[in-house]
Amino acid sequence: MKVIFGGKDSVNRKAVENPSVDILMSPERGRNKDFMKSRNSGLNQVLCRLAHKNNVAIGFDFNYLLNAKESERPNILGRMKFNVILCNKYKVNMYICNSTKNKNEVKSDHDLIAFGKILGMKKIVVKKFEY
């Protein structure tokens, strides 16, 4: 399974254009400010169409949100919700991921499914990664 951690626009674009990539993880990572009337979430309709065409799934990392500063969490959560809306609209596969560095950060599948419901996912699939 080939997973690419997103962030920059060029990395997100290259990942969804490549059919050998399985998951683009956290395209909202590293965004500082939102646009005037929309979220700067790392995805747009063009990237979602490419992801659907090349069968690239979008991954949402629960630990990225959990380990962020408290002042940044609302913005990250809003960007994730915006990405879920785009993925639902363009029928892009989505995963809730739990990337852990140690055993203390492991969350149960029930917690991750509840997080997916909060984001607005229709079909929730849980993946766990260690790095």
What is the tally of structural domains in the chain? 1
The pTM of the whole model exceeds 0.85: yes
131 pLDDT above the threshold of 60: no
- List of residues 6+ apart from 84 with CB closer than 8 A: 60, 94, 119, 120, 121
126 - beta bridge partners?
96
Per-residue pLDDT band for 7 (boundaries 50, 70, 90) equals confident
In this prediction, residue 1 carries a pLDDT of: 79
Q: Which of 11-15, 30-34, 126-130 shows the lowest per-residue confidence on average (mean pLDDT)?
A: 126-130
Round to whole Å and give the CA distance between 93 and 22. Answer: 10
CA quadruple 73, 76, 8, 113: dihedral, nearest 10:
110
| Domain span including residue 21 | 3-130
Output the domain CATH number for residue 122.
3.20.20.140
Residue with the bigger pLDDT between 105 and 84: it is 84
